[in-house]
Structure 1
Amino acid sequence: MSNEAGRDPWRTIVGRPRIWQGIAWTLIGVLWLTLAVLGTETWRWVIGGVWTVLGGVLLTVAISDRRHGRGRYTATPLTVRGAVRPEDADEPYRR
């Protein structure tokens, strides 16, 4: 779960998804729906629909997070340091 879960009940449901996770869940749903078209079982339609809806929700949240800099897509502070000189740089080379 994310740190935002306490403030936003939506975060307790979806967490902090990445875009590839939403795409993967949607593709699995489409695969199940393809199997439902080829088969006669009703449960394939249900499972395919659930996977597709969940994938779409995860994808929507991930894209929104990326656009607004939240969740997994928060900006991490970049620390730039100068070159570090070795302590013994002034000493002559010894064997």
Structure 2
Amino acid sequence: MAPAAVNRWLRPEVFPLFGAVGVAVGICGFQLVRNICINPEVRVNKEGRAAGVLENFNEGQRYSEHGLRKFVRGRAPEIMPKINSIFSDPSKI
């Protein structure tokens, strides 16, 4: 690479952009690998594709009920519950 291009793209101001793009690419890659490896509706090999539509409800249920979904099932849909309770409850002010 030419020194001008290195000086243009490797500034400290650009590092958060590299980080955000890296996280997005990582999430996309994780989801791609997860779907190819364990999704019951995706069949990569020839024998699986020849089987047609399978009635595999148990396998689909295991795929959709993953650990993160089980973890957040009984919780309130809040990102910061302590701060939300402070601002929503006037007696705490």
State the TM-score, normalized to the length of structure 1: 0.33
Whose Rg is larger? 1
State the TM-score, normalized to the length of structure 2: 0.34
Greater helix proportion: 2
